[in-house]
Amino acid sequence: LSSLPLQILLYVNGIYYIFYFLATLAMIIYKSQVFSYPDDLLAPDLAVLFLMAILEVPRLYLGFKGNLTEAEAPLGLSLGLTVGSVLLCVYLLLWQTYVLWADVLLNAVLLSAYGLESGLKVTAIAAFVS
């Protein structure tokens, strides 16, 4: 049986991610105007953000598909992509050039969502395999 909490969480994650992406982009623009943000430090931060956005789309799609079709392969792939997203999120939380308090909040919420999702995916895979 498909996991309902996982489904809800994936759906909410999708909506939250859109908000997160726009907010982080706006804050990077704000930081580049207000603080001294040389180009060779701005480029990696923007690259990480866009990479995370690119990873998120297949991750969520595979998650939806795997959960609804009760197949463990897409769910497993989604879990793998989640690991990558977690790493990028940790970068934005700790190793960005300027970490504002708002950055900390957004990234913490996203990380907790990822963590919860990973747990639910593992249980779902276990349920589907058996």
> Which amino acid belongs to residue 99?
V
Backbone angles phi, psi at 3, to 5 degrees: -85, 115
Which residue among 96, 110, 113, 124 contacts another protein (CB under 8 A)? 96
**Contact flag: residue 97 with another protein (CB under 8 A):** yes
**Contact flag: residue 100 with another protein (CB under 8 A):** yes
**Contact flag: residue 36 with another protein (CB under 8 A):** yes
Alpha helices in 3-71 (DSSP H): 4-34, 39-69
| Closer residue to another protein, CB minimum distance, 8 or 105 | 105
3-state class (DSSP) for residue 2: coil
CB atoms within 10 A of CB 112: 10
**Contact flag: residue 33 with another protein (CB under 8 A):** no
Binding residues for another protein, rule: CB under 8 A, are 27, 30, 35-36, 41, 94-105
